[in-house]
Structures are given as structure tokens and as C-alpha cells.
Amino acid sequence: MEYRLQAVGDSAVKIQAAGEVTEYMNAQIRSICNKLEQASISGVIEWVPAYNSVTIYYQPIDISFQRITKKLQEMLTNLSIRTTSSVRTVHVPVCYGEKYGPDLEYVAAYNRLTPDDVVAIHQKPAYLIYMIGFLPGFPYLGGLDKQIATPRRKEPRPSIVKGSVGIAQEQTGVYPVSSPGGWNIIGRSPLQLFNPYNKQAPFLFKNGDRIQFYAISENDYSYIFNLVEAGDFNVSIKEGASDDNN
């Protein structure tokens, strides 16, 4: 694998991987993050994975740019890509359409489908989370079927309710907090994706997880929402082996 190191300001360095963004690329990025965790390089504060890069933030008074790049080069030389690993599949309930998914009918009409077709197609894949970003806990997902790909709205909404599930181009995602946005909203999940008061695990998702959406009724939404608010709902998360070459 080919990697390029570049400075990002005076306190960060980016590892840029060469090649197309694929599930195998994601396996590379996760392998780099695992290696960084094992290396425990003195002076490193944190690292941020993206589609095809990892940015490492460090304390310049503890380690120089020359020193950290040397350590990273050594690490990359001995990097082993894990193409088969244990991954989490997070099952995410979604109430589709009506007030929860005001753009469902538009997405269906744009793609010459029925709303039920869109819901069925949207639920089918186990979406891979390539990265977390944009908003705290927002998952960038791969795997949306092109049959329901839909351009962004021409006029973004000033506020989209947290938990909203949307489609933009060939991507789907879930808003972890209320925010302006131009995605086509097809449903809403009652789950809490971001909890700033949970210091140990503030985010429900992480890079490399899979998301499996499933449809629920409006009554189910209210029931689960109340359980989540009370801290009594257990999200269905299953562990299993995954071949990142698929």
C-alpha cells in the first residue's frame, strides 16, 4: 500500500492512503488506527479517521514533526491490513414517511418507485460506516442502492430534527443532533446517537460499524423514544465476522 505523510498546521500530520474509497480502503484506515492505539506514541493527543486518511494530532513540545513522521513511517512499513475482522452491526429503528419522513414520497417519485419500494430498498443493506463527522456522531455510510439515490434539496431546511434519516445523492445518513441540512428526509429514528453526558461512550456509532435499518410504526416510535429518554432502551448490537474485501 502507498501512503503519503503531510503536515497539517504545526501540530498535526496526515497519513494519506492512495487508491479509491472502497471497503478495503476502510480496512486500511481502521488498521492504521489500531496500530496507533497499540503504538502509544508519546506526544500524540488523538487521531481522526476519514474516508482515505488519518490525521494525527500531537503536542509539538513533546514530539517534533520530524520525530513523529519517522515513527509513523516505521509503523506503516510493518502495517498488516486486517481484511477479516469482528464488526458490530447496530440495528436502527426508523419510522418512515408522514411527519417523520416528509420527503419519502418525493424520493419515490424521483426514482419512479412507490414509497413502500423506497422503504424496502433502504432497509436491505448493512451499511458500512466509513467515518464519523460533520456533526458529532454523524455516520458517513456506504452501500445505498442507486435505485433510491436522490439529489440534495435545492433549498436546505433551516432545521432538521435529530434522528432524521435522509438521502443525498448516493448516500444515506442519520442526523445525531438537530441541524440545518439539505438531505431528503425519509424517516426518523428514536435512538440517541450522541450523548455528551456519557463521557465513556458519547457516540452510538464508530468507524467500521455496520448499520441495519428496520421499519417501525408511529406507536413504536413513541414507545422507544420514551424508553430512550428514560435510559431504559437497549439498542440491538450484534458482533460478527466481516470480510472487508466484499
pLDDT tens column, 45-57? 999 999 999 999 9
Give long-range contacts, CB 8 A cutoff, 24+ apart: 43-49. 43/68, 44/68, 49/131, 49/207
181, 160 contact by CB (below 8 A): yes
Q: Where are the alpha helices (DSSP H) in the chain?
A: 23-39, 65-77, 104-110, 115-123, 218-230
Q: How many CB atoms lie within 10 A of CB 52?
A: 19
In this predicted model, what pLDDT tens digit does every residue of 29-46 receive, in sequence order?
Answer: 999 999 999 999 999 999
Instruction: Name the grid cell of 237.
Output: 448490537
Average pLDDT, the chain: 93
Region 200-215: what's the mean pLDDT? 93
By three-state DSSP, how is residue 191 classified? coil
pLDDT-based confidence at 243, cuts 50/70/90?
low
For range 181-193, the mean pLDDT: 97
Determine the Cα–Cα distance for residues 199 and 177; give it in Å rounded to an integer: 17
| Phi, psi angles (nearest 5°) of residue 127 | -70, 135
Looking at the chain, the whole-number percentage of residues with pLDDT higher than 70 is: 95
Residue 246 has pLDDT above 50, yes or no: no
Residue 84 predicted with pLDDT over 60: no
Residue 80: band (very low, low, confident or very high) from pLDDT cuts 50, 70, 90: confident
CA torsion, ordered 201, 207, 212, 213, to nearest 10 deg: 70
- Indicate the pLDDT class of residue 242, thresholds 50, 70 and 90: low
For 201-210, b/e burial (b = at least 16 CB within 10 A) is eebbbbbbbb
Look at residue 245 in the predicted model and tell me its pLDDT.
46
- The yes-or-no verdict on residue 156 having pLDDT over 80 is yes
| Arithmetic mean of pLDDT, 200-228 | 95
pLDDT of 131 = 92
What number of CA atoms fall less than 13 Å from residue 133's CA on the CB side?
A: 10
| Predicted local confidence at residue 222, as pLDDT | 98
Q: Could you give the CA distance from residue 57 to residue 48 in angstroms, rounded to a whole number? A: 8
Query: CA dihedral defined by 160, 133, 137, 116, rounded to 10 degrees?
Result: 50
pLDDT of residue 83: 57
User: Sign (positive/negative) of CA torsion 183, 188, 189, 193?
Assistant: positive
SS3 235: coil
pLDDT at 55: 97
Q: Measuring CA to CA, which residue among 5, 95, 14 is closest to residue 47?
A: 14
Query: 131 is written with which cell numbers?
Result: 467515518
pLDDT band at 85 (very low <50, low <70, confident <90, very high): low
- Which residues, other chains included, contact 152 with Cβ-Cβ below 8 Å and sequence gap of 6+? 168, 169, 182, 183, 184
